[in-house]
Amino acid sequence: MRIAISAFKVIKRYLFRKQLGKVGVNFFCGDDSRILLAKSFSCGDNVFIGPGAYLVCILDIESNVMLGPKVTVLGGSHSFGVKGELTRFLKPDPQASRKVTLCNDSWIGANVTIIGPLEVGHGAVVGASSVVTKDVPPFTVNVGSPSKPIKKIFSDDILRQHLILLGFSETYATSIVAKRNDKLDGTSISILDNTEEYRNVFSD
């Protein structure tokens, strides 16, 4: 019986994946997740989507991205406020398929709602239950409804070093630092760097 159930799950996941547009290696999508506009879905390598996701948009997920349980990503909203018409029976907003991009190494926490069009920047973290309605700067921690950046991940110099260590070019690293600073637009927030703490815990 257990073998039959396991085989059924493998087949179900295979058929689900075949419906999607472009999918990289090491892709995982949890149970009870729904991806509408499946042919407009694309993702890179090492993408993890937790259970109960509801994804309804043109969605581009780059590599090494994590989505926690019950993440909702919407490309737009339903039409409403039309004189003489019931909202329930209005035609969907033609912008409802607007694009959302989740960039490399971003982490979307549990129960987050993202309403596009927008981009979650490279290395950004969005805290659980946040509501995202505009672009998220690279390498920032973002929380709230609507979400806003509360911390930088690494100083500018360390961020540049971090990206080069991961194999990105110096030009790209410099552009990400510049993009973060541009998106923050002079906002002063604290800097987070967990390197020493992590290595003390997980050192060999």
The catalytic residue among 12, 17, 39, 78 is 78
C-alpha torsion sign, points 62, 158, 162, 66: negative
Please give the structure tokens belonging to residue 70.
């019950």
Q: Which of 42, 48, 40, 41 is nearest to 65 (CA)?
A: 48
Q: Are 132 and 138 in contact (CB under 8 A)?
A: no
Q: Is 148 exposed, middle or buried (0-12, 13-18, 19+ CB in 10 A)?
A: middle
| Contact by Cβ (8 Å): 98, 115 | no
122 a catalytic residue: no
Q: How far apart are CA 159 and CA 84, in angstroms?
A: 55
Q: What is the CA radius of gyration of the chain?
A: 19
Least Cα distance to 126 among 184, 66, 54 occurs for 66
Annotated catalytic residues are 78
